[in-house]
Chains A and B, each alone.
Chain A
């Protein structure tokens, strides 16, 4: 119990339990299991609100209990010190050496909804642990006040290795990157970096945590980023069945379909050209920017004469209607710019609709796919590349029709599904145990005794 924040949470729960029944319910939701051996991994892979098969009238719910979504604190630093099979050593910036205190603090910040302007939005709101540290429940993200965001939330697994962050590559380090979602008007909408720092300094449950993690330093423009980056660097999901077969030489770690699928991936499918591998490890991304035509298509589909006049909308299991796009337009308030990808960063017309290659690791957990969440299933993604993407003058030269057979497609999908890291349950269990930072009466707020001090 070296984390004062957790201790405070426990103490509060105990106090309440003495005074009332209802507090028992409350205490149960504090996240961390009292008896870690009780932990079962059924909550860790996939949304708790299971919608598989929802298209059909026969759909049956398999919803999980929020009260049972509880975890166990894990020692995440060992993943970074000794990455799971299939991952290279983790690059750690010299100015931000990884420590347990920083990871704990970053984890606390990551789940803190108070870091947004109206106390509603944490990093974890779009990067949901059991949903692959992305959001499986919507195609493109929404931020504070429901403001639309252009893109699908990316997974944070193995983000430690990226040198170009965001799908247009506009950031260069995790330490820097964190400020953008926190201050973007359509994400967490904090008014400024200083506002966030001031607020953290005034939240009593952070007292002493930064000083302890950063040699006496307060929350500031460096330490907040360093703490959050430290936590994210430990989200290392590998040692998948594929890794155990390919890098670990365990012949039986995967079945024959996966092995054939790997053949398609690295051969006829040409996937490996962008989703690259090294001899002893693989990130399955070249971190370069490519035009698949998807962004091009979306940019020009609106208002095109050939565009469909209706959209199929599901109303209930097995119940669909075709709704006129006019009707949909009448209730579309938020007009977003077209997503031109890398062009937004360079203004080079040749960079239109180029997006950074995403890693294939853990794709089983990160639906929907592509920069805009266009596809629900891996099979749709495979079909998209099989047809050669969407032709346009800037289409990546690496993309062309593949003519994959049905068997090859199935094998390719089996291969992709073999890339789910065995460390996922542990990382998610740890995330479940993290306290969620919700506004309490001790926190600064205009309606409280403690204010932001303006």
Chain B
């Protein structure tokens, strides 16, 4: 798995907490999130459950890998969409790299299920528009995307364009600063991946504890079993 190694290469060092005011820095032995591993339970069968609509998806202005302007809703509605917020410098193994790795695993599954693949689109959008230009996203995506699966790597023109998207999807970010108050280029954020149906409704939200390729493929298939107007 060359590509997976490449993702791991992106991970880098685990940051130390840099706490002034009398707190000690703590090094943490990361435990891998379930998405990196095999599930230890049998997931519920495709179509045996419902995914009640949680909320409506939101639109927003984005930039495609080729730099073209687009709207999120131009990329949603025709297919089921898995929508993930990442940034390319991110190196927390259970953060964006997890999201990317799970999408990558899912991609492999989709390649074996062209019927599902044809009805699915993966979108990874950066919340670091300053660094993650369309060119950076394109290059990043080349290391991850594969044949037969529509996986696009988006960014935004600037922070002002991004903010409303982050707000709508409840993606709060905190810039990380080092001891001297310098911005480290890292963001604290809460990993969330959204499953959006063809009627632009959010049907599932996955966090670190729940994000797994086996679940994603089942959820996609479950939604595909619904009649379009359900």
Residue numbers of A with Cβ under 8 A of B are 19-22
User: Across the interface, which residues of B come within 8 angstroms of A21, CB to CB?
Assistant: 50-53, 230
Q: Given B50, B51, B53, which contacts A19 in the complex, CB threshold below 8 Å?
A: B53
- C-alpha spacing A295/B51, complex, angstroms: 57
User: Across the interface, which residues of A come within 8 angstroms of B230, CB to CB?
Assistant: 21
User: Across the interface, which residues of B come within 8 angstroms of A22, CB to CB?
Assistant: 52-53
A25 to chain B: closest residue by CB: B52
**B215-230 vs A, Cβ < 8 Å mask (1 yes, 0 no):** 0000000000000001
Selected A-B contacts with CB under 8 Å, 11 pairs: A19-B53, A20-B52, A20-B53, A20-B201, A21-B50, A21-B51, A21-B52, A21-B53, A21-B230, A22-B52, A22-B53
- C-alpha spacing A21/B51, complex, angstroms: 8
- C-alpha spacing A22/B51, complex, angstroms: 9
- Number of B residues near A (Cβ < 8 Å) is 6
- C-alpha spacing A21/B52, complex, angstroms: 5
Q: How far is the CB of A21 from chain B (nearest CB, A)?
A: 5
User: Across the interface, which residues of B come within 8 angstroms of A19, CB to CB?
Assistant: 53
Number of A-B contacts (CB under 8 A): 11
Q: How far is the CB of A406 from chain B (nearest CB, A)?
A: 57
Q: How far is the CB of A154 from chain B (nearest CB, A)?
A: 43
- C-alpha spacing A393/B217, complex, angstroms: 81
User: Across the interface, which residues of A come within 8 angstroms of B51, CB to CB?
Assistant: 21
A19 to chain B: closest residue by CB: B53
Other than the known A19-B53, A21-B230, A22-B52, what 8 A-B pairs have Cβ atoms closer than 8 Å? A20-B52, A20-B53, A20-B201, A21-B50, A21-B51, A21-B52, A21-B53, A22-B53
User: Across the interface, which residues of A come within 8 angstroms of B52, CB to CB?
Assistant: 20-22
- C-alpha spacing A22/B49, complex, angstroms: 12
A18 to chain B: closest residue by CB: B229
B199 to chain A: closest residue by CB: A19
User: Across the interface, which residues of A come within 8 angstroms of B50, CB to CB?
Assistant: 21
- C-alpha spacing A136/B179, complex, angstroms: 67
- C-alpha spacing A20/B50, complex, angstroms: 11
- C-alpha spacing A19/B230, complex, angstroms: 8
- C-alpha spacing A20/B226, complex, angstroms: 12
Q: How far is the CB of A14 from chain B (nearest CB, A)?
A: 14
- C-alpha spacing A19/B200, complex, angstroms: 11
Which of B51, B201, B230 has the largest count of A CB atoms less than 10 A from its CB? B230
Q: How far is the CB of B56 from chain A (nearest CB, A)?
A: 10
- C-alpha spacing A219/B52, complex, angstroms: 41
- Interface hits, B135-174 → A, CB 8 Å: none
Q: How far is the CB of A363 from chain B (nearest CB, A)?
A: 46
The 8 closest A-B pairs by CB, nearest first: A22-B52, A21-B52, A20-B53, A21-B50, A20-B52, A21-B53, A19-B53, A21-B230
Q: How far is the CB of A29 from chain B (nearest CB, A)?
A: 15
Q: How far is the CB of A19 from chain B (nearest CB, A)?
A: 7
Q: How far is the CB of A16 from chain B (nearest CB, A)?
A: 11
- C-alpha spacing A20/B230, complex, angstroms: 8
Q: How far is the CB of A13 from chain B (nearest CB, A)?
A: 15
- C-alpha spacing A21/B230, complex, angstroms: 8
Q: How far is the CB of B77 from chain A (nearest CB, A)?
A: 16
User: Across the interface, which residues of B come within 8 angstroms of A20, CB to CB?
Assistant: 52-53, 201
User: Across the interface, which residues of A come within 8 angstroms of B201, CB to CB?
Assistant: 20
- C-alpha spacing A348/B53, complex, angstroms: 66
- C-alpha spacing A8/B53, complex, angstroms: 23
**B52-73 vs A, Cβ < 8 Å mask (1 yes, 0 no):** 1100000000000000000000
Q: How far is the CB of B198 from chain A (nearest CB, A)?
A: 14
User: Across the interface, which residues of A come within 8 angstroms of B53, CB to CB?
Assistant: 19-22
**B109-151 vs A, Cβ < 8 Å mask (1 yes, 0 no):** 0000000000000000000000000000000000000000000
B51 to chain A: closest residue by CB: A21
Q: How far is the CB of B127 from chain A (nearest CB, A)?
A: 29
B50 to chain A: closest residue by CB: A21
Which of B50, B51, B201 has the largest count of A CB atoms less than 10 A from its CB? B50
- C-alpha spacing A168/B53, complex, angstroms: 54
